[in-house]
């Protein structure tokens, strides 16, 4: 939709990865199509799902589709999604989990932040739980190097400030940047597959002299790690635990690494006791395998058994 000869609506390239979750992906896409004051082009990459591609994919004009011959993971999937939308004159790129739904004014509010704050590198909406929209899953946070983790700033929607606030870290679940920014920080090593790559993006943004922002009025809901089988699935436990170590070694200053290593090994020992108490004793094996692969710097390792349950 053209506003005038020289002015058009901001065009946003949405990057979405699907893996055996077509119904969730459909709901996500439908919510995006209701967005106000922006144009969207949706780069949808399917990571070799067992399920057949539904008719609505080809029937949605705003969707540019690519099916991968194998499951190459979240990082490679986002890179491919970017590559299939970058020639569509997109001004901004929005990395978005497929297990989310976006409110109609979310994208326009995020875009406005780039005008209000020209130093913006990355920007995020408030991400609430689908089951309780007052409870916050993620809304930016403070980076804790010794844990290679993020301290949440807000727990409920009622705690949120009125205006945009600067944050150290935002989640790759919903991360917007200018299109040219993806060329700088979006092309990452694809071996780690998924999890913790967003920490690296945020650190790179700051290193380049930009600031990362949370826009409290922008909202999405999140069904939380359904594509990975849940936060206590072997898949999620393995990749989160392994990649935390790998990305720490790659990105932390030497002064923080010693404290991180102490925390990491202590945390592993603690969970070796906690998981069986939670009747999740089978996760101990995957956690320790993740530690071994992390310490040995083997991000290319992707144990086949982790993916068999998804078929």
Question: Considering Cα of 232, then 234, then 239, then 241, what sign does the dihedral take?
Answer: positive
Backbone angles phi, psi at 268, to 5 degrees: -65, -45
pLDDT tens for the chain, 311 residues long, are 444 445 789 999 999 999 999 999 999 999 999 999 999 999 999 999 998 999 999 999 999 999 999 999 999 999 999 999 999 999 999 999 999 999 999 999 999 999 999 999 999 999 999 999 999 999 999 999 999 999 999 999 999 999 999 999 999 999 999 999 999 999 999 999 999 999 999 999 999 999 999 999 999 999 875 555 567 889 999 999 999 999 999 999 999 999 999 999 999 999 999 999 999 999 999 999 999 999 999 999 999 888 765 44
Which residues are registered as beta bridge partners of 221?
101, 128
Q: Which residues contact 268 (CB under 8 A, 6 or more apart)?
A: 241, 287, 288, 291
Domain ranges (residues) in the chain: 11-222, 234-308
- Cα(266)–Cα(95) distance, rounded to whole angstroms? 33
DSSP 246: H
- For the entire predicted model, the pTM comes to 0.91
Candidates 3.40.50.970, 3.30.420.80, 3.40.50.150, 3.90.550.10; CATH matching 11-222: 3.90.550.10
């Amino acid at each position: 939709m053209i506003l005038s000869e020289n002015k058009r609506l901001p065009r946003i390239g949405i990057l979405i990865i699907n893996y055996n979750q077509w119904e969730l992906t459909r709901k996500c896409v439908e919510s995006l199509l209701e967005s106000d004051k922006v144009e969207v082009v949706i780069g949808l990459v399917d990571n070799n799902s067992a399920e057949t591609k539904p008719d609505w994919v080809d029937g949605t004009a705003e969707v540019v589709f690519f099916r991968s011959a194998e499951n190459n993971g979240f990082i490679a999937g986002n890179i491919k999604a970017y590559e299939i939308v970058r020639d569509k004159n997109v001004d901004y790129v929005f990395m978005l989990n497929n297990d989310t739904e976006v409110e109609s004014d979310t994208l326009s509010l995020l875009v406005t932040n780039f005008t209000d704050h020209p130093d913006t590198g990355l920007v995020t909406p408030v991400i609430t739980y689908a089951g309780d929209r007052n409870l916050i899953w993620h809304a930016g946070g403070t980076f804790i190097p010794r844990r290679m983790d993020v301290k949440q700033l807000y727990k409920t929607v009622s705690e949120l400030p009125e205006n945009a606030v600067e944050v150290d870290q935002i989640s790759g679940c919903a991360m917007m940047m200018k299109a040219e920014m993806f060329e700088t920080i979006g092309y990452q090593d694809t071996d780690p597959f998924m999890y913790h790559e967003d920490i690296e993006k945020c650190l790179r943004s700051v290193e380049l002299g930009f600031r990362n922002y949370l826009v409290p009025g922008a909202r999405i809901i999140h069904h939380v790690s359904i594509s990975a089988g849940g936060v206590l699935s072997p898949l999620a436990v393995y990749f989160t635990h392994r990649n935390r170590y790998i990305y720490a070694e790659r990105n932390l200053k030497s002064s923080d690494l010693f404290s991180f290593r102490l925390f990491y090994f202590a945390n592993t020992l603690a969970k070796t006791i906690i998981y069986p108490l939670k009747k999740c004793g089978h996760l101990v094996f995957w956690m320790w395998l993740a530690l071994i692969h992390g310490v040995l710097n083997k991000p290319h390792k992707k144990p086949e058994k982790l993916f068999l349950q998804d078929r």
